Amino acid sequence: MSDNPAKQHNELKQQLENYAYQYYVLDDPSVPDIQYDRLMQSLIALERQYPELKTPDSPSQKVGGAVLSKFDSIVHEMPMLSLDNGFEDADLVSFEQRILDRLNLDAEVEFACEPKLDGLAASIMYADGILSFAATRGDGQTGEDITVNVKTIANVPLRLVGEDLPQRLEVRGEVFMPKQGFEALNQAQRDKGAKPFVNPRNAAAGSLRQLDSSITASRPLRFYAYSVGILEGGAISALQTHSQRLESLGKMGLPLCKETAVVTGAQACIAYFNKIGEMRDSLSYDIDGVVFKTNSLALQSRLGFVSKAPRWALAQKFPAQEEMTILRAIEFQVGRTGAVTPVARLEPVFVGGVTVSNATLHNQDEMQRLGVMIGDTVIIRRAGDVIPQVVSVVLDKRPDDAKQIEFPSHCPVCDSHVEKPHGEAVARCSGGLVCPAQRKEAIKHFASRKAMDVDGLGDKLVEQLVEQGLISHPADLFHLSLPQLTALERFGDKSAVNLLRALDDAKNTTLAKFLYALGIREVGEATARNLAMHFLTLDNLLQADIEALLEVQDVGEIVASHIHEFLHEQANLAVIQKLRDAGVNWPDIELASPDEQPFVGKTVVLTGTLSQMGRSEAKAKLQDLGAKVSGSVSAKTDLLIAGEKAGSKLAKAAELGIETWDEQAFVDYLATL
Ligand code: 5U1
């Protein structure tokens, strides 16, 4: 890289533009995200040092930062029109016929076909190839100035590429939020206790109309160009068709929807509409129909406009994905992890092409947030193959006899009590070991390698045993008999004998493995180990209150409350007793002397490939020596053990001056103990 700041800035700018184009427009990233982020940070740092380098097309604008007090108005030089709608095949046939009649033609018409994205229309003006301003549609005549926000949209180029660019080019298109980004954003909203967005369209609108552009920058918005407004000069001005214009926009670096087509005649339009309808659920973005446009620009201008819509375009709509209906009842379902989900029983309603009579309310927090009552009129959304959901309540329509909904305090399946740790949105059944809804998963986990390690007891076999009614909780495993097992389909004598032997062997375990095997929420191997080392005996742990649990390394309030709830559920205690009665045992834990635990108080990180021992073996050895094994390198790290092909962690440790051993040094050290 050059040491001339302007040259350096230009190089960074070009690299970033190139990577963004490959990533967002071509869908073909050439470098990992982290490299892009690093270059962006270098660019921002350089601009901080030399503010004169910060031009309006600098990629640094992608991260936002400007905070407005309000949006200014922008009058559209060319009004942004709306579209006529069609709903049936016959509407497409008469659309083509109207065009033919008006133009006095009798051939078929060529149409450009495009999925109609469910977002917000936006206009982006480029002057000599540089993004100069952007506006919302508003009322079609006047919109809002959203330039700083549009600049943060990842796939919007701040500078166009190519030869013979127009002096002025107004690109019109849709700002939208892809489905995946929407789900992730809503999950993040729920996790932080904020209101989730009703649908991707609302999320896109809410994100675009932020006065603080760094919020917009953090939201997964995208833009697809679908037409040209003002156009002055450039090679694009000579083109004859709408589809050629779109292609030309693509070559200038503007993002386009990939599912477009050019077809001839109304019947081909109907076929395209049906094809897009079939693909709708699998598309990465929400659509509400298909837009058909007369492809010839000459014919478009001959057809002109009627009131506020062009005569040469039609939006053919899909059935609505949101409908109103009445909530008749709520049923509480228990999932395999114990999550208690409120499910709305509805007056059947046709939405998104199917009849819906059940919809999810997600969890207790969401139910309370919606403030829904039995008898309410609710809005149901069914998008794609996602489970239909209740998105809002129409309060104006609440009947006088609407009934409050009580969230159950006990599991509707096993009657264990329902717990909802402070700060968590989901309420769960605490009967992890006994609840039939959680049975299969609980037993699979119990038998798994890192837990009781029952050799030969795979997931399929657990399912078979539960389905045949041979086991209903983990302790039943130890009472299985040879005739019961050999009677199972495709289970030979030898396998049965081996399984019984493996079950017998598994009874000799450690307290840590036993605690992990219980499947207490958020008690992984490390926490189970810490609990065992802290309390030394199961009885000590059973007597621990929340305060005592909080003293254990890495146990915070939520984990403490999960452990406490689980170990105070009588049904779980009964299974634990049955396991001990069946012979499950572990040796007493003897506290190591300080010289046997030389790593007490030390944080160690493992990285790279270890060839002489597995990662988990190395981790267990370090924990036996008293170390805390962490996943990332920070200033708190005392030692990094780096195997082959160690990458960024090794570099970071070197940067922070952290002591680093290779695998051999660790093995040699272990040999000295
Ligand atoms: N895909 C697409 N959506 N959409 C919306 N094309 C399209 N064209 C529009 C609108 C309002 O208007 C043009 C006819 C300019």
Span from the CA of 309 to the centroid of ligand 1 (angstroms): 10
Ligand 1 centroid – CA 199 distance (Å): 21
| 115 CA → ligand 1 middle, Å | 10
Q: Which CATH architecture has domain 594-671?
A: 3-Layer(aba) Sandwich (3.40)
Predicted pLDDT of residue 1:
58
- CA of 273 relative to ligand 1 center, distance in Å: 16
The three-state (H, E, C) secondary structure of 181-223, written as one string: HHHHHHHHHHHCCCCCCCCHHHHHHHHHCCCEHHHHHHCCCEE
Which pLDDT tens digit goes with each residue over 520-552?
A: 998 999 899 999 989 999 999 999 999 999 988
What is the three-state SS of 384-419?
Answer: CCCCCEEEEECHHHCCCCCECCCCCCECCCCCCEEE
Give the position, in ligand 1's atom list, of the atom nearest the Cα of 227: 15
Is 116 among the catalytic positions?
yes
pLDDT at 554: 80
**In contact, 500 and 482? CB cutoff 8 Å:** yes
Q: How far apart are CA 289 and CA 472, in angstroms?
A: 50
* Confidence category of residue 589, pLDDT binned at 50, 70, 90: confident
- CATH fold of the domain at 103-265+281-313: D-amino Acid Aminotransferase; Chain A, domain 1 (3.30.470)
Assign 588 a pLDDT band (cuts: 50, 70, 90).
confident
Least confident of 3-7, 114-118, 119-123, 130-134: 3-7
pLDDT tens-digit readout, 615-631: 778 887 888 888 888 88
Q: Which of 99, 111, 116 to mutate to test the pocket of ligand 1 (most atoms within 8 A of CB)?
A: 116
pLDDT at 665 over 80: yes
Residue 26: band (very low, low, confident or very high) from pLDDT cuts 50, 70, 90:
confident
3-state secondary structure (DSSP) of residue 602: coil
Beta bridge partners of 292: 113, 314
Question: Quick one: pLDDT at residue 455?
Answer: 94
Q: Which atom of ligand 1 is nearest to the CA of 293?
A: 14
Atom number of ligand 1 nearest to Cα 114: 1
Domain 408-591 has CATH 3.40.710.10: no
Of the listed ranges 108-117, 148-157, 189-198, 283-292, the least confidently predicted one is: 189-198
Per-residue pLDDT at 384: 63
- Distances in whole angstroms, Cα of residue 344 to Cα of each of 358, 387, 394: 5, 12, 15
pLDDT digits (tens, 9 = 90+) for 435-471: 989 999 899 999 999 999 999 999 999 999 998 999 9
Handedness of CA 366, 368, 369, 374 (dihedral sign): positive
| Bigger pLDDT: 147 vs 632 | 147
Q: Which CATH class, in words, describes the domain spanning 5-63?
A: mainly alpha
Mean of the per-residue pLDDT values for the chain?
92
**In a mutational test of the pocket of ligand 1, which residue from 83, 176, 243, 294 has the highest number of ligand atoms less than 8 Å from its CB?**
83
Q: Per mean pLDDT, which range of 187-191, 257-261, 337-341, 653-657 is the poorest? A: 187-191
Of the candidates 505, 507, 439, the one whose C-alpha atom is nearest the C-alpha of residue 470 is 439
CA of 152 relative to ligand 1 center, distance in Å = 23
Share of the chain above pLDDT 70, in %: 99
Which protein residues touch ligand 1 with a CB less than 6 Å away?
83, 114, 116, 121, 172, 226-227, 291, 310, 313
pLDDT for res 623: 80
Catalytic one among 54, 62, 116, 621?
116
Give the model's pLDDT for residue 56: 85
Nearest C-alpha to atom 14 of ligand 1 is from which residue?
Answer: 313
Dist CA 115 CA 318 (whole Å): 11
Domain ranges of the chain: 5-63, 103-265+281-313, 321-397, 408-591, 594-671
Residues β-bridged to residue 603 = 628
Q: Is the pLDDT of residue 22 over 90?
A: no
Mutate-to-test residue for ligand 1 from 81, 95, 175, 227, highest number of ligand atoms within 8 A of CB: 227
Separation of alpha carbons 596 and 492, rounded Å: 47
Tokens of 18: 């190139």
Please choose, from the candidates 229, 389, 255, 391, the residue with its C-alpha nearest in 3D space to the C-alpha of residue 310. Answer: 229
> 298-349: per-residue pLDDT in tens?
999 999 998 789 999 999 998 778 889 999 999 999 988 899 999 999 999 9
Q: What pLDDT score was predicted for residue 24?
A: 78
Q: How confident is the model at residue 594 (pLDDT cuts 50, 70, 90)?
A: low
pLDDT the model gives residue 25: 74
CA distance 228 to 268: 25
Gap between the Cα atoms of 526 and 604, Å rounded? 14
**Helix, strand or coil, per DSSP, at residue 609:** strand
Task: Work out which ligand 1 atom sits closest to the CA atom of 229.
Answer: 15
Model confidence band, residue 592 (pLDDT cutoffs 50, 70, 90):
low
566: closest CA among 541, 530, 536? Answer: 541
Q: Give the distance (Å) from ligand 1 centre to CA of residue 175.
A: 12
Site to probe by mutation for ligand 1, drawn from 85, 136, 139, 226 as the one with most ligand atoms within 8 Å of Cβ, is 226
**CATH fold group of domain 321-397:** OB fold (Dihydrolipoamide Acetyltransferase, E2P) (2.40.50)
pLDDT of 281: 84
Residue 73 parent element (H or E): strand 73-75
Share of the chain above pLDDT 90, in %: 70
Distance 275 CA to ligand 1 centre (A): 19
pLDDT at 67 over 90: no
Question: Residue of the nearest CA to atom 6 in ligand 1?
Answer: 226
Q: What is the pLDDT of residues 376-428, one digit of tens each?
A: 999 998 866 678 999 889 999 999 999 999 999 999 999 999 998 887 888 99
pTM above 0.95, yes or no: no
Beta strands across the sheet bearing 110-117: 85-86, 313-317, 287-294, 110-117, 261-264
- Select from 176, 175, 169, 148 the least CA-distant residue to 69: 148
Q: Count how many residues are written for the chain.
A: 673
pLDDT value at position 385? 62
Q: What is the pLDDT of residue 321?
A: 82
pLDDT over 80 (residue 590): no
